[in-house]
């Protein structure tokens, strides 16, 4: 936590982008979400499609983000 605060005292930190919008770009099916009961529950994708979440987060980091928030 102190490293975060030290860096924040020195400069502006850039947070990640719109997770939901990026997930929508994948046009996932109900099966991708784990079935009809969890369709559209983006937080559930960490269990059913972790590669999608990792790919989105990697893109944020490659774009220069300093901080990545969870998808849940």
Which residues lie below 8 Å from residue 33, measured CB to CB, with a gap of 6+? 39, 40, 41, 44, 45, 48, 49
Residue 72 has pLDDT above 90, yes or no: no
59 pLDDT band (50/70/90 cuts)?
Answer: very high
- Helix boundaries (H) for the chain: 2-10, 19-24, 45-48, 50-62
Give 27-41 pLDDT, tens digit per residue: 999 999 999 999 999
Does residue 13 contact residue 66 with C-beta atoms inside 8 Å? yes
The chain-wide mean pLDDT, for the chain, equals: 94
Tell if the pTM clears 0.75, that is, is over it.
Answer: yes
Strand partners, 15: 67
């Amino acid at each position: 936590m102190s490293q975060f605060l030290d860096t924040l005292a020195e400069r502006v930190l850039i947070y990640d982008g719109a997770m939901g919008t990026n997930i929508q770009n994948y046009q996932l099916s109900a099966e991708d979400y784990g079935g009809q009961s969890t369709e559209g529950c983006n937080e559930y994708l960490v269990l059913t499609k972790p590669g999608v979440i990792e790919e989105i987060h990697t893109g944020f980091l490659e774009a220069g983000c300093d901080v990545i928030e969870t998808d849940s």
